[in-house]
């Protein structure tokens, strides 16, 4: 586990490039200011002189879990990226940049910065870009969303205190068990909320400290938890249900040599009635499964996303809830329902291998109501106070997923 980031920094300021609406992103900038080569903006020159140049550090790579991404950046982009991240770490309001990113690529570059500042969660959507005579970015004026460096440092301390506490409770078992613990902790202790006042829902701080976040906060929190637990991880962005709203999720490398996808936001349904419910529809899945209802619309021009090609560590497969045939599916549901009744569990999980199996099972359960017979058998065998006439699918289901709520008499 890494040392507490707050102990490494004297202050922290996030150079926010993007404002998030829901899970979407909109730019709020003034990018028309142009300077001659080597120039500095008059409005921030004094502030810049009060923050003399410091030796560039790559500490931000470890702080934000960026090992995979940073190693793959082109050298010219890496230089500017390093300069911006160092400015953030040193609480500077303006940074002169080594030319390397063309003016036409400013949105792509700022998107990279925004998505990589997972540990620096003081996001502002107000910034100003400056260009040299050749139309390369030569400087960025940064803005605070906190009133002081002390406040930023206090928030950072709170964030990493929480991360340390969570990881201290992580089991010593397999990669599957460790990642499942982190995943469940985030989902059970955070509520999806994009309209909270006085909190930072688009940040890891919002997810882990304020306990309220959007997909940006969930994904950033997941990345920090995984990175601090010793996993190689990175983010990916795209769209989900609506092409008008951007979405963010995670990848993680496990000790079987395979990359897997995670989407904690979609496994924590908004407005869920049971605060103890955890979905596992998007827990350690492959690319083919993810793309059944996610669209990778935004491919980074700066690094290539690894291919997630395995389902071996998926929740449903690991737990024995994966069916390749209709008969296998019904056997899994029957056995799992009896075990649920014996232990007072509320949820029965199933993932189907194909659309055909899924359709057959759905017809059996929701048209023919065959699950009523399974519930009755479970009630007779265990004596559990099951409500055999009241059950249903969980509202948020992933592709080929059936999750049944077993209800009990009060």
pLDDT digits (tens, 9 = 90+) for 319-373: 999 999 999 999 999 999 999 999 989 899 999 999 899 999 989 988 888 888 8
pTM for this prediction: 0.86
Q: In this predicted structure, what is the pLDDT of residue 198? A: 59
CATH number at 311 reads 3.10.620
Two structure tokens written together for 378: 């479970």
Joined tokens for residue 385: 């106070």
- Token readout for 307 is 């291919």
Residue 287 CA to residue 321 CA, distance in Å, equals 20
Burial class (CB in 10 A: 0-12, 13-18, 19+), 233: buried
In which residue are the tokens 């103890």 written? 276
Angle, helices 175-189 vs 149-168, to 10°: value is 130
Do 399 and 291 lie in a common domain?
no
Q: What is the pLDDT of residue 388?
A: 67
Say yes or no: 11 and 126 in one domain: yes
Alpha-helical segments (H) within 272-395: 287-290, 315-318, 326-343, 355-366, 371-382
Is 50 exceeded by the pLDDT of residue 253?
A: yes
Q: What is the mean pLDDT of the chain?
A: 82
pLDDT of residue 17: 33
What would the two tokens of residue 49 be? 């002189």
Q: How does 279-291 read in b/e, with b if 16+ C-beta sit within 10 Å?
A: bbbbbbbbbebbe
CA distance 252 to 179: 9
CA 220 and chain centroid, separation: 5
Res. 263 pLDDT band, cuts 50 70 90: very high
Range of the domain at 257: 149-315
Residue bearing the bigger pLDDT, 194 or 179: 179
Contact assessment for residue 161 and residue 154, using Cβ atoms and an 8 Å cutoff: no
Looking at the fold, whether 332 and 251 belong to one and the same domain comes out as no
Q: Are residues 331 and 348 in the same domain?
A: yes
Counting the structural domains of the chain, the total is: 3
Q: Which helix (H) or strand (E) holds 236?
A: strand 233-239
Q: How do strand 322-323 and strand 283-285 relate by DSSP bridges?
A: unpaired
Q: In sequence order, which ranges of 315-354 are alpha helices (DSSP H)?
A: 315-318, 326-343
The answer to whether residues 137 and 158 belong to one domain is no
Same domain membership, residue 290 and residue 164:
yes
Instruction: Decide which of 252, 283, 315 is a domain's last residue.
Output: 315
In sequence order, what are the residues at sequence separation of 6 or more whose Cβ sits closer than 8 angstroms to the Cβ of residue 95? 48, 83, 84, 86, 87, 139, 140, 142
Which of 256, 281, 315 corresponds to the end of one domain?
315
Q: Could you say which of 78, 106, 141 is where a domain stops?
A: 141
76: pLDDT strictly greater than 90: no
Q: Are residues 294 and 335 in the same domain?
A: no
Based on the fold, state whether residues 26 and 94 are members of the same structural domain.
yes
Stretch 10-37: mean pLDDT, rounded? Answer: 36
Shared domain check, 162 and 309: yes
Name the residue with higher pLDDT: 113 or 32. Answer: 113
Beta-carbon count within 10 A of 92 CB: 24
**Category of 105 on φ-ψ map: left (φ > 0), alpha (ψ -120 to 50) or beta:** alpha
What whole-number distance in Å separates Cα of residue 217 and Cα of residue 193?
Answer: 10
Is 90 exceeded by the pLDDT of residue 42?
A: no
- Residue 179 above 70 pLDDT? yes
What percentage of the chain reaches a pLDDT higher than 70?
Answer: 81
CA 199 from chain centre, in angstroms, equals: 18
Closest CA to 282 of 245, 320, 313, 255: 313
135 and 179 belong to one structural domain? no
CB neighbour burial string for 168-194, b if at least 16 within 10 angstroms, e if fewer: eebeeeebbebbbbbbebbbeebbbbb
Pull the structure tokens for residue 401.
């997923």
pLDDT value of position 104: 93
Residue 262, both tokens: 């995670």
| Encoded tokens for 165 | 């506490």
Each residue's pLDDT tens digit, 183-229: 999 999 999 887 766 568 888 999 999 999 999 999 999 999 999 99
Q: Where are the alpha helices (DSSP H) in 138-277?
A: 149-168, 175-189, 204-205, 215-228
Whether the CB-CB separation of 32 and 183 falls below 8 Å is answered with: no
| Domain identity same for 241 and 341 | no
Q: Verify that 205 and 119 share a domain, yes or no.
A: no
């Amino acid at each position: 586990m890494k040392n507490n980031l707050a102990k490494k920094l004297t202050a922290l300021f996030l150079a926010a490039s993007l404002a998030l609406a829901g899970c979407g992103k909109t730019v709020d900038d003034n990018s028309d200011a142009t300077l001659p080569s080597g120039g500095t903006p008059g409005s921030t020159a004094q502030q810049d002189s009060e923050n003399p140049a410091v030796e560039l550090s790559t500490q931000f790579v470890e702080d934000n879990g960026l090992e995979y991404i940073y190693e793959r950046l082109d050298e010219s982009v890496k230089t500017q990226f390093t300069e911006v991240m160092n400015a953030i770490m040193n609480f500077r309001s303006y940074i002169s940049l080594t030319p390397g990113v063309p003016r036409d690529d400013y949105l792509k570059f700022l998107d990279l910065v925004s998505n990589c500042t997972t540990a620096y969660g003081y996001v502002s959507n107000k910034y100003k870009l400056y260009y040299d005579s050749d139309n390369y970015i030569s400087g960025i004026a940064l803005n605070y969303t906190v009133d002081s460096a002390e406040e930023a440092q206090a928030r950072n301390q709170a964030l990493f205190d929480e991360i340390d506490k969570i990881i201290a409770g992580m089991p010593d078992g397999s990669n599957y068990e460790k990642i499942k613990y982190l995943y469940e902790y985030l989902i059970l202790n955070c509520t999806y909320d994009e309209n909270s006042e006085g909190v930072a829902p688009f940040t890891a701080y919002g997810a882990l400290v304020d306990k309220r976040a959007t997909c940006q906060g969930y994904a950033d929190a997941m990345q920090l938890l995984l990175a601090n637990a010793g996993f190689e991880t990175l983010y990916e962005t795209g769209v989900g249900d609506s092409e008008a709203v951007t979405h963010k999720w995670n990848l993680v490398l496990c000790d079987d040599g395979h990359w897997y996808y995670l989407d904690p936001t979609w496994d924590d349904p908004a407005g869920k009635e049971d605060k103890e419910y955890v979905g596992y529809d998007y827990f350690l899945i492959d690319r083919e499964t993810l793309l059944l209802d996610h669209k990778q619309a935004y491919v980074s021009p700066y690094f290539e996303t690894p291919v997630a090609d395995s389902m071996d560590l998926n929740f449903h497969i690991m737990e024995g809830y994966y069916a390749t045939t209709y008969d296998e599916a019904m056997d899994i549901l029957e056995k799992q329902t009896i075990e649920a009744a014996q232990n007072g569990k509320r949820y029965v999980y199933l993932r189907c291998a194909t659309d055909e199996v899924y359709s057959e099972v759905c017809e059996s359960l929701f048209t023919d109501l065959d699950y009523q017979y399974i519930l009755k058998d479970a009630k007779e065998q265990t004596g559990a106070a099951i409500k055999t006439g009241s059950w249903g699918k969980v509202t948020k289901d992933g592709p080929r997923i059936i999750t049944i709520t077993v209800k009990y008499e009060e």
